[in-house]
Amino acid sequence: MFRAKFKEAVICFSNPRVTLPYPFGPGAELPEGFRGKITVDQTRCIACGGCANVCPSRLIRFYDEGERTRMEFILDRCTYCGRCAEVCPEHAITMTLEFENSTDHKEDLYIEQELYMATCARCGRCFETENAIDKIPVRRHREGRNFVGPSMPHGGPRARQRE
């Protein structure tokens, strides 16, 4: 017993240190492709729902509230799998390098965003997010139509009415 412990101590002291003094000193350099806390760029999101469909933790929720679509990300359930960022067609979700996510405040791990819906000029019904409509003239599908234009910050006429 004593000999085994002595042998173990010799092995421990004869090898270099393999742990880091983190959090009292610098941690390891993060590798390329590290998956930390997600961020969502509201100006890119078109509320397609792709991220919610693939999220294994089911932490992304959509609420259809008439003129707006509200999205919630409840990140205390996030497993940092990166699937949401992988499928997002608009590259609105980014996996940051942020890994120090322990907190006493739930709101630190909560993202909420509201996307306004463009409204049909004829029937008045909401039909698509303004972010998606904004992209149409850029892609040159409907350039010249009366309700979209490249210089409009938020798309259609309803956006102007709200301002």
Binding residues for ligand SF4 (CB under 6 A): 38, 40, 45-51, 54-57, 59, 78-84, 87-90, 92-93
Strand-pairing partners, residue 62, are 71
Supply the minimum distance, in Å, between the C-beta of residue 123 and ligand SF4.
25
CB atoms inside a 10 Å sphere around CB 131 = 22
Q: Are strands 93-95 and 60-65 parallel, antiparallel or unpaired?
A: unpaired
Supply the minimum distance, in Å, between the C-beta of residue 71 and ligand SF4.
7
Residue among 107, 113, 105, 106 nearest 130 (CA): 113
Can you tell me the distance from the alpha carbon of 44 to that of 37, in angstroms, rounded to the nearest whole number? 18
Supply the minimum distance, in Å, between the C-beta of residue 91 and ligand SF4.
8
For ligand SF4, the closer of residues 4 and 90 by Cβ is 90
| Max Cα distance, the chain (Å) | 89
Q: Which residues 6+ apart lie within 8 Å of 90 measured at CB?
A: 44, 45, 46, 48, 131
For ligand SF4, the closer of residues 81 and 157 by Cβ is 81
For ligand SF4, the closer of residues 8 and 65 by Cβ is 65
The tokens of 108 are what? 């630190």
For ligand SF4, the closer of residues 41 and 147 by Cβ is 41
Supply the minimum distance, in Å, between the C-beta of residue 58 and ligand SF4.
8
Can you tell me the distance from the alpha carbon of 133 to that of 118, in angstroms, rounded to the nearest whole number? 7
For ligand SF4, the closer of residues 54 and 157 by Cβ is 54
Supply the minimum distance, in Å, between the C-beta of residue 104 and ligand SF4.
21
